[in-house]
Amino acid sequence: MSGTTRAATAALALSEATEQLCAASVADARLEAELLLAHACGIDRAHLIARLKDPLKPTTIAAFRRLLARRLAHEPLAYITGCREFYGIDILCGPAALVPRPESELLVDLALAEVRARGAALRIADVGTGSGAIACAVAAHAAAARVCAVDVSSAALALACRNVEALGLGGRVDVGQGDLLGGLGALDVVVANLPYVSESEWCGLQPEVRDFEPREALVAGIAGTELNARLLAQAPAHLARGGLLALEMGPTHARALSAVARTHFPGASVSVIKDLGGHDRVLLVRQGEEARWRTTT
Ligand SMILES: C[S@@+](CC[C@H](N)C(=O)[O-])C[C@H]1O[C@@H](n2cnc3c(N)ncnc32)[C@H](O)[C@@H]1O
């Protein structure tokens, strides 16, 4: 914003901020400006829209400027406001974990469909839980379900614990540290959004992602398929008869990971689900009813 006189009302502050965000190539510049100003005012966006002609206090303008400067430096909006809506619930966000993405809601849909079809007593795991978004969304929408939320990162797990507590899901989401499925027993549903960016892709990611989100939450290795392939190798020892494994993957990984899945699950049905953008996004493995499993514990 150029000065306090021009930006005296919310409407003026928003139009100036929108221009600046557009110039910085921020998509949805107007929406983001509104969310930042609402955050600076301590109100929600609907209330802000209802008060566009109200004058802003100097302290609010100063706070908005600070938030806007962070966004203009390409810090993700969710890190600035500390929150992101995911599957109808508010997830606390911070630099310890990836900001939950809309495409990952597909994993929640799949887990909830499974609960509806087979009952809430299913043993469900969210591997690479990060902020805990997927585990919390499943538990929040399936009243009796219990979910194990696992990650290697203790910083991410601290955030996941805050989300579990804030959403009142303690006792239904068990947060624990582990490497993939190691330490878990038999499971009926495994959902995982593990890192799937390749080393070479990482440099070309947008600054919001590359410069702010944890690299270890994004990059899997040289190919990008490494962690999902390792999970597929571990999973036969854990997935119960008739169980479901749903892995989010990079849009070019379907063929390679389907081949890995067929090697480790010879009797299973393996399929690929596209996201709303039409990209291959989730690898689905349905363990055959006749398949045998053994626990590792
Ligand atoms: C792409 S982020 C996804 C976070 C969250 N599930 C979401 O969708 O917003 C991947 C997560 O996997 C975790 N991770 C990486 N390697 C792992 C491993 N070997 N075992 C368990 N979690 C791992 C990372 O720490 C990170 O939090």
CATH classification of the domain holding 100? 3.40.50.150
Give every CB contact of residue 267 below 8 A, 6+ residues apart in sequence: 287, 288, 290, 291
What is the reported pLDDT for 144? Answer: 85
Taking the C-alpha atoms of residue 150 and residue 152, their distance in angstroms, rounded to an integer, is: 7
Q: Please give the mean pLDDT across all residues of the chain.
A: 93
Same domain, 139 and 240: yes
Please work out whether the CB of residue 128 comes within 6 Å of at least one atom of ligand 1.
yes
Same domain, 191 and 245: yes
Q: How confident is the model at residue 297 (pLDDT cuts 50, 70, 90)?
A: very low
Tracing tokens 């929406």 back to the chain, one arrives at 31
* 17 and 68 Cβ atoms separated by less than 8 Å: yes
Q: How confident is the model at residue 6 (pLDDT cuts 50, 70, 90)?
A: low
Q: H helices then E strands: how many in the chain?
A: 12, 11
**Domain for residue 245, yes or no?**
yes
**DSSP-derived pairing of the beta strands 269-274 and 280-286:** antiparallel
Distance 253 CA to ligand 1 centre (A): 17
Q: Which two tokens stand for residue 272?
A: 């690929």
* pLDDT tens digits, 173-208: 999 999 999 989 999 999 999 999 999 999 999 999
Taking the C-alpha atoms of residue 30 and residue 43, their distance in angstroms, rounded to an integer, is: 17
Q: Percentage of the chain surpassing pLDDT 90?
A: 90
Domain boundary among 73, 97, 128: 73
Q: Reply yes or no on whether the pLDDT at 293 is more than 60.
A: no
Q: Reply yes or no on whether the pLDDT at 294 is more than 70.
A: no
Please work out whether the CB of residue 133 comes within 6 Å of at least one atom of ligand 1.
yes
58-72 and 10-23 helices, crossing angle to 10°? 10
Domain boundary among 38, 73, 108: 73
**DSSP-derived pairing of the beta strands 280-286 and 239-248:** antiparallel
Alpha helices in the chain (DSSP H): 10-23, 29-41, 45-50, 58-72, 77-81, 105-118, 133-141, 154-166, 199-203, 207-210, 226-234, 254-264
**DSSP-derived pairing of the beta strands 197-198 and 219-221:** parallel
Please work out whether the CB of residue 246 comes within 6 Å of at least one atom of ligand 1.
no
Domain boundary among 23, 49, 73: 73
Same domain, 102 and 129: yes
Same domain, 144 and 92: yes
Same domain, 67 and 16: yes
Same domain, 67 and 202: no
Q: Reply yes or no on whether the pLDDT at 291 is more than 50.
A: no
Same domain, 103 and 180: yes
Alpha carbon nearest to ligand 1 atom 27, residue: 130
* pLDDT tens digits, 98-136: 999 999 999 999 999 999 999 878 999 999 999 999 999
Q: Reply yes or no on whether the pLDDT at 48 is more than 70.
A: yes
Distance 281 CA to ligand 1 centre (A): 16
Same domain, 265 and 130: yes
Taking the C-alpha atoms of residue 124 and residue 177, their distance in angstroms, rounded to an integer, is: 16
DSSP-assigned beta bridge partners for residue 87: none
* pLDDT tens digits, 142-173: 988 899 999 999 999 999 999 999 999 999 99
Q: Reply yes or no on whether the pLDDT at 7 is more than 90.
A: no
What is the reported pLDDT for 119? Answer: 85
**Domain for residue 297, yes or no?**
no
Taking the C-alpha atoms of residue 19 and residue 108, their distance in angstroms, rounded to an integer, is: 36
**Domain for residue 292, yes or no?**
no
Burial class (CB in 10 A: 0-12, 13-18, 19+), 138: buried
Q: Name the residue range of residue 263's domain.
A: 86-286
Taking the C-alpha atoms of residue 97 and residue 84, their distance in angstroms, rounded to an integer, is: 12
Taking the C-alpha atoms of residue 16 and residue 237, their distance in angstroms, rounded to an integer, is: 57
Please work out whether the CB of residue 97 comes within 6 Å of at least one atom of ligand 1.
yes
Q: Reply yes or no on whether the pLDDT at 292 is more than 90.
A: no
Task: Of 50-54, 155-159, 238-242, 292-296, give the lowest mean pLDDT range.
Answer: 292-296
**Domain for residue 4, yes or no?**
no
User: Of all atoms in ligand 1, which is nearest to the CA of residue 156?
Assistant: 27
Same domain, 38 and 123: no
**Domain for residue 151, yes or no?**
yes
Q: Which two tokens stand for residue 113?
A: 């469909």
Alpha carbon nearest to ligand 1 atom 24, residue: 217
Same domain, 133 and 212: yes
**Domain for residue 280, yes or no?**
yes
What is the reported pLDDT for 4? Answer: 44
Please work out whether the CB of residue 247 comes within 6 Å of at least one atom of ligand 1.
no
* Number of structural domains the chain divides into: 2
Q: What is the mean pLDDT of residues 3-13?
A: 73
DSSP-assigned beta bridge partners for residue 89: 86
Q: Reply yes or no on whether the pLDDT at 235 is more than 70.
A: yes
Mutation pick for ligand 1 pocket among 152, 190, 196, 253 (CB with most ligand atoms within 8 Å): 152
Same domain, 174 and 278: yes
Please work out whether the CB of residue 156 comes within 6 Å of at least one atom of ligand 1.
yes
Same domain, 209 and 265: yes
